[in-house]
Structure formats: structure tokens, C-alpha cells
Structure 1
Amino acid sequence: MTTRAAVRPATHVTRPPAARFRDLLASEWIKLRSLRSTSWTVALTALFVIGSSAVATLAADTAGSGPADFLPHLAYPPAGYWTLTLVSGVSGALTVVSEYSSGLIRTTTVAVPARGEVVLAKAAVTAVLWTAVGTVVSTGSFLVSRTILDERHAGVPLTHPGVLRALVASALLAPVCALIGLGLGVLLRHSAATVATSVFTLLMLPPMFSESARWSAEVNHAMVLSAWKRLIQNWETGPGSLGHSATVPGSWIVYALWPLAAVALSVLIVRRRDA
């Protein structure tokens, strides 16, 4: 008799196709949109910031004031835009921290092992959302303040020197802070610690460094809030009063470097620490 060895048929493991980046964007957008707090936070923040511009303009004594006085104090008051800085920074952080605290991050990483791409998708959705919010808020602040000032014959057009720059800088303040918060969320992964660090970094740290000494002024100028203050000030028609003044190009560089560094470090951290 002859025996034949049983030959097992070769088995091929079929791997699911890698997630496309646009699918990751859609997933992150669904996560963000499904939260009721997102729409309420955006709406209330926009209402408060634009309302603060209206209140500041209505309460201002415009008698004898020139166009240079319009931008920093009336259209873009600190109270409103400090609030925008705080809310956008914390919201950006919570897009990451909320997944770690709820355990949803485990499902995300199992479905998409490429964690760096997940972070990039979160950053892209966060940036688009808060750029839209910032644009609406900044434009609304300008229009409301200008309407009130036009009734007093003290308004300035968008073409006035420094007006467009202040509008763009105020619009970009929200996405810049949101991406910084996202980076801190990836780094710390703890709600209370991330919120506290975001508040400290964005709001409390800049006033600690005055512009009386050169080294202190350079540290101050490297902060996002200080860069925003410089960009909305129309020093072409109104001289600055500080000893060591920041430059407009340098302030734009600060705007660019902070979010780029935050996103780059976030991708590096999730690839190394969570591998």
C-alpha cells in the first residue's frame, strides 16, 4: 500500500486595506461634530467675542481720537480675544485628551495603526474648524465696531493701514492656539494637567516677561499672545511706547512656528511612545 501525505492548502491572510487620509479626516470630523458641546462652545464664544467688541466700541470716547486708536482697543479688545485664546486652546487639547480619558483611543489605534496619520487628521480638522470660527469672529468684530464708529463719523475702511493685518492676525489666533492645545494634549494625556498647562502657556506666561530688558523682551515676543498684540497695533501711524518692540515679520514667524512645532512633536511622540 502506498500512503499519500496530506497536503494542507496554503492559507493567505488577507489584510484590510490601509485607511486613506480622507477617511481619517471624515472620521475625525464626525467625532467632533457629534459632540453637542462643540456647537455650543463655538456659538457662545463667537457671540461673546463679537459682543465684547460692540461693548468696547459703545463705551469708548471717540472724541478727538484718530484712526490709529481704532484697532487695538475697540475692534479687538483683549478681554474678548483672551477668551478666544483660552477656549480654542482648551478645545484643541480636548480633541485628544477626551479620547484617552474615555478609552476611545484604543479603538482608534486598533483600526488605524498609523498613529501619526491620526494626529495629522486631528490637527487638520481642528485647524479648519477654528480657522472658520476665527474668520467669522474677526470679521464680525471689525464690522460691528466699524458700524458703531461710522455713526460717530470715526470709522475706518478695510484698506486703512494695519486694518487687514489685524483682521487676519485675529482670525488666525484661534487655530494657532487650538493646535498648541492639541500638542499639549498629546504630550500630557491628562485633562486637568493639559487644561492648566494650556492656560499657563497661552495666557499667564507672556505677562511674566516685560519688555524693559532685552532678554525678557525676546522671550515675550516669542509668545503667541504677544505676537497677536503686535500684529493688531497700527504703529505705522501711531508710534510704539515700548523699549524693545517686536517686528511684524517676527510676529508672523511666531504664529507659524508654534503650531508647526506642536503638530510635529505630537506626531513624533505618538510614533515613539505609543509604538
Structure 2
Amino acid sequence: MTATSVPAAGIAATGTGAAEPRPRFRDLVAAEWVKLRSLRSTWIAYGATALAVIAINAGTAYDTYSHWSQQGAEGAAAFVRDGIPLQTAFTANATIVMALALATIGSLAIIGEYSTGTIRTTFAAVPARRSVMAAKVVVVAAVTTAFGALVAGISFGLTQAILDGRGVGISIGDPGALSVVAASTLLAPVCALAGLALGTVIRQTATTMIVAVMVILVLPIVFSDDRHWSAVAGHALPYQAWLRLVAADPAPTAFPWTTGGAWTVYAVWALAAAVLTVISVHRRDQ
């Protein structure tokens, strides 16, 4: 009596040896969201950053309010004409704090998994590494955009309410106001994605933080508008792009650039960071 073989299709049909279904991308996004929201430290970091940024902005507005007696009638008119309320709505100091904090939070979204070894479990469960990292990019971008909008919106409303006590507050409909809020909002995901990309490539907390500080804080100071190459390099950085977008009346420079160019810098940084995050794990070990 000869043995009969069972076709592979028959095995699959009976359920024996059937392959695991490929995870849907929305399931991967949901899993990354669960990872993020389940960590108490994440929300502490977001909360502390929000309080610090809003406090810096509100403190600047209150300092202006409390020393308003030094301003005369002409000084008040010049205050609005020179766009000082816009500068107070989201200050440069608050921007640096938010950018550094968001870059750190973004990097820890992946470095934490490498340091604890849970990334091995993730990639073992879902071998499609690029899909996993793309889902992480989506979650980090979405959460930090919402965070940026919340902080920028509260900062604008609070600072202008304080300044309105002296009659110099502005509304969101005034020229330049929406640009300040939008630029400050979107700087958050740009910096968070840059931190995520650095963390994915470097995988070490200390080194990643040093590089992030160099890119966000040091390089914008190093590059000036005195030389063409230096101006172009500086204009390619997110912080200088933010400065261009929130400037009510940009000072004339030897190498001027446009708000469209600044928005392009935002887009290129976010896209490049997302691509680097996704592709850098494809052929590397855990």
C-alpha cells in the first residue's frame, strides 16, 4: 500500500501549519500608542515640558505688564507696531526648552526599548521592522503635534490676556499671530522626529542627547548671516526656520530668505527624520 502525500494547500485549508496573518498597520499604530501611554514617565516629561514652556512665556508677558509704567503713550504704540506681543506669545527661550525636551522625548521612544531589550520582543513578534518603525513615527508625530498645539495655544491666549491688561494684547486674527502659533506648534513634531531618528541610529542616550543639543542649540549660534555658506547652513536648521516664521518684520540681511523656505525646512527635516527612522533598522541587529 503506497503512502499518499497531502498537498500544502490542504494543510493550510485544514488550519494545520497555517501562516500567521500579517499585522495590519493600524494594529501596529495601536500597539505603539499603548506603549507610549502606558509609561508614566512619558506623561511626566510632557507635563513638565508644557509647564516650563508656558511659565517662561507667561513670565515674560507678566514682566512686561509689571514694568509697564516705563512705557509712555508713544511707547505703547511702538510696542504693538514692532510686533513685541508676537515675540511674547512664544519666546525664544521657551522655544529652545521645548525643542530640546521634545528631541529628548522623541529619542527615548526608541532608546528605551533598546536599553531594556524589549525591541527584540517587538521585532520577533513583527519581523516587518520597517512597518513597526513607521507606526512609531506616526504615533510620535501625532502626539507631539497635539502637544505643540496645546502648548502654543495656551501660551498665546495666556500671554495676550496678560498684555491686554495694558491694552496691547492681540487676537489670533491679527497679522502674524496664526503664523506664530502654527510655527511653534509644528516645531514640536519636527524636533521629536529628529530625536527619534537620532535615537534609532545612535542607540545611546548620552550620545544622542549631545548630538541633539549640538543640532538644536549650538549650530544655530555658530552659523551666522555674514557669509553665504554660513547663512545657507543656518537657514537649514529648524530653530532658525522658526525664527524666520515668527518674525513680524524680519531685519534686512545680506542673504534673506522667505517664509516658504522656512516651512520647507520644517517639511524636509520631518520627512528625512521619518525616512531615516524607518530604513535604519532594516539590516541592523537588535
Q: How does 1:72-83 map to 2 (within 5 A)?
A: 72=87, 74-83=88-97
1:263 maps to a residue whose letter is A
1:175-205 CA distance string (max 9 Å, x none): 1100011111111112221122112112221
Q: 2:281 aligns with which of 262, 270, 275?
A: 270
SS of structure 1 residue aligned to 2:201: helix
Q: How far has the Cα of 1:272 moved from its partner?
A: 3.2
Are 1:30 and 2:45 matched, yes or no? no
Q: Which moved more, 1:115-124 or 1:196-205?
A: 196-205
- Per the alignment, residue 128 of structure 2 pairs with 114
Distance in structure 2 (CA, Å) of the matches to 1:249 and 1:9? 64
Q: How does 1:196-235 map to 2 (within 5 A)?
A: 196-235=210-249
Distance in structure 2 (CA, Å) of the matches to 1:243 and 1:226? 16
- Per the alignment, residue 186 of structure 1 pairs with 200
Distance in structure 2 (CA, Å) of the matches to 1:154 and 1:176? 32
Are 1:252 and 2:252 matched, yes or no? no
Q: How does 1:137-156 map to 2 (within 5 A)?
A: 137-156=151-170
2:284 maps to a residue whose letter is R
* Long gaps (5+) in structure 1: none
Q: Which moved more, 1:10-19 or 1:256-265?
A: 10-19
Q: How far has the Cα of 1:244 moved from its partner?
A: 2.6
SS of structure 2 residue aligned to 1:271: coil
SS of structure 1 residue aligned to 2:175: coil
Q: How many residues align?
A: 268
Are 1:59 and 2:58 matched, yes or no? no
SS of structure 1 residue aligned to 2:231: helix
SS of structure 1 residue aligned to 2:152: helix
Q: 2:51 aligns with which of 42, 47, 50?
A: 47
Are 1:92 and 2:94 matched, yes or no? no
Distance in structure 2 (CA, Å) of the matches to 1:6 and 1:35? 57
1:117-142 CA distance string (max 9 Å, x none): 11110011001111111001001111
Q: 2:85 aligns with which of 64, 70, 92?
A: 70
Distance in structure 1 (CA, Å) of the matches to 2:197 and 2:142? 16
Q: How far has the Cα of 1:242 moved from its partner?
A: 3.6
Q: Which moved more, 1:74-83 or 1:144-153?
A: 74-83
Q: How far has the Cα of 1:246 moved from its partner?
A: 2.9
SS of structure 1 residue aligned to 2:145: helix
Distance in structure 2 (CA, Å) of the matches to 1:107 and 1:93? 19
